[in-house]
Chains A and B, each alone.
Chain A
Amino acid sequence: MAKTPNEAQPFADAEPVAANGLLHRRLFLSGGAFFAGASALSGVLGARPASAQMATVPDWRKEPGKSFTPYGVPSRFEEPVQRLVTVRAPSYPSPGAGSSRTPLHLLEGIITPSGLHFERSHSGVPDIDPDRHRLLIHGLVRQPLVFDLESLMRYPRVSAIHFIECAGNSGGGWAAQPPVGFVATMHGLLSCSEWTGVPLHYLLEEAGIDPKAKWILAEGIDAAAMSRSVPLDKCLGDAMVALFQNGERIRPEQGYPMRLLLPGWEGNMNVKWLHRIKVTEGPTHTKDETSKYTELMPDGKSMQFTFPMEVKSVITRPSEGINMQGPGFYEISGFAWSGNGKIKRVDVSADGGASWAEAALQEPIASRALTRFRLPWQWDGREVILQSRATDETGAVQPTRAELIGSKGIKNAYHYNGITTWEVRASGLVKNVWA
């Protein structure tokens, strides 16, 4: 029953399932329609007339290409695909305390290339010699132990795809005015990798856990010796000492030679350059779990130890700076994720939340991993308000910004998971707005 796509306007005759041209998610699957649509799409979007140049054989067809290289890098034409780094004056005294952001708007699928994984450090990236690195486990244990890398490499390993999201990601959402810039400006402290390492419980059990123990302190050996307290039950569950990221050893910016991986929990807790674990009775109340990464509520109280990152989604195409190229067919696409499990569904609205169409979820849909969603859209060229709303397998639904602020106020600074709203203007410009 595949429809014959109109060449210039694929799906022009498809029935919308929600206002302003949102189409059924399964249209993508209906036979050849999608591919026909995709090729017609280049006709609409590319808008480059066939020129005389296209009718000549390009140079690279006429001579052999470059020979083999030991480590490949992206095409030189992809140079703009870079992390967003804040430019500081050379005199700025603490350039290593801060972050760089993943260019979410320029990526596809769910895996973040390792060199584009967001960075957050409190005193720069250390240059660690793996032969001199040790992991110390002590405190409330039967036998304090020290592990070198060579011995850790001999344990059984696990691999899993997980996002890491800074607890301060999307923090611009708490501000009175919406941040201006690419989607990464507000949401780019978010990345997703395949992590491989040793389950932490093997090492803790080897040291022998005292029955009084309820927490650990995990510490890095960077110049900030960044440290966080983690409940023991997480450490005995899915926590791992990660050694590999996307098949190769973890990048220096991500904790080389090892980091703690706590699937779904605040990025800051996934302690990089991990060198010490102290098993304790209670939390240590470090700077980064008191002064920072605590949620100040409207009543003046602060919620401490709010570990999982809540259900959330954002449309990356279109998004601010990824503008429209005239009326016609588009694929709306973005990321959804939850620190509490798998994404169950994502709904998209093109009328500011009055009507919703369910988006298609791209496999794989993994627990505590980014999930890619897609929805076909026939844009008629008029101003629309685009939103996405994620629901996870626990039934938690991403709140609107108004709902979030209604319960948490505006001074929270962390864990912002409100719905993102893109205003698509008739001119094709896309702007971040508060709905």
Chain B
Amino acid sequence: MFGRKVLLGGMTATALVAASTALAVDPPKLGQPAPEMLIRLFDISIPPDGTGLPPGQATAKQGEAVFIARCAACHGEKGEGATNDRLASGVGTLQDEIQTFKTVGSYWPYATTLFDYVRRAMPYNAPLSLTDEEVYAATAYVLFLNRIIGETDVINAQSLPAVKMPNRDAFINAYAPR
């Protein structure tokens, strides 16, 4: 038998928050300890400090071939956009009266997001098909197309979080916890 308070708590989500501290019985604990292997397989998110970036490195020079072969069809050879997003240029257009281009170079606050996103979702037609080296290479090439790094700068777990993106300081955290 469930305690009455558990069932009462089930009436509405807000009621539940209040009720949760006063549960007559605890909810069951049915989670299984997560194997380390499972966590390693799925933990792919990279925050701005670069925690979790894998070994490997590449330059934009090495990235050009990856980009042409795996990305250009949808984003254009120079990242100018095709069927999908423009990835380069647009710096200085955020307040332009006529046209604004929000791109990796003109808009994104962190370079780590580029590695994270390309590794998790790109190329659209074959996610998870690039090696970590190839993801570093494509990342470096997109940063180079945006004139944020040089063609032979090495991008790896140490250098990527240190890349200062042009629009970094323009983001304001609007969330005020209640």
Q: Which residues of A are at the interface with B, using a C-beta cutoff of 8 A?
A: 92-94, 97, 122-123, 134, 136-138, 143-148, 151-152, 154-160, 199, 201-203, 206-207, 217, 219, 223-225, 227, 231, 233, 236-238, 240, 263, 275-276, 278, 280, 282-287, 290-291, 294-296, 298-307, 367, 411
Contact = CB atoms under 8 A, between A and B. Distances in A.
A300 B113 contact: no
A52 B17 CA distance: 63
Nearest to A409: B95
B46 A146 contact: no
24 contacts: A97-B84, A122-B121, A136-B39, A144-B39, A145-B31, A145-B34, A148-B32, A155-B27, A224-B127, A225-B121, A225-B127, A227-B120, A237-B13, A238-B14, A276-B43, A283-B47, A284-B47, A285-B109, A287-B117, A290-B113, A300-B170, A301-B170, A302-B167, A305-B173
Of all A-B residue pairs in the complex, the 8 with the closest CB atoms, nearest first, are A145-B31, A151-B30, A144-B34, A305-B175, A238-B13, A287-B117, A225-B120, A146-B34
Q: Which of B12, B30, B167 has the most chain A CB within a 10 Å cutoff?
A: B30
Contact of B102 (A219, A233, A238, A296): A296
Interface of B: 2, 6-7, 9-14, 16-17, 20, 27-35, 38-39, 42-48, 73-74, 83-84, 94-95, 100, 102, 104, 107-110, 112-113, 116-117, 120-121, 124-125, 127, 167, 170-175, 177-178
Contacts of B43: 138, 276, 278
A373 B108 CA distance: 41
Contacts of A367: 14
A286 B31 contact: no
A301 B108 contact: no
Given A280-B47, A287-B116, A305-B173, 14 more contacts: A147-B32, A151-B30, A158-B9, A158-B13, A199-B20, A224-B121, A231-B177, A233-B177, A233-B178, A284-B116, A287-B113, A291-B108, A302-B167, A305-B174
B81 to A, nearest CB: 13
A259 to B, nearest CB: 15
Nearest to A306: B174
Contacts of B116: 284, 286-287
Given A156-B6, A301-B171, A147 B17 contact: no
Instruction: With a 10 A CB-CB cut-off, give which of B2, B20, B34, B116 has the most chain A CB atoms.
Output: B34
Given A146-B31, A298-B95, A219 B45 contact: yes
A123 B121 contact: yes
Contacts of A284: 45-47, 116
A290 B83 contact: no
Contacts of A233: 177-178
B13 A263 contact: yes
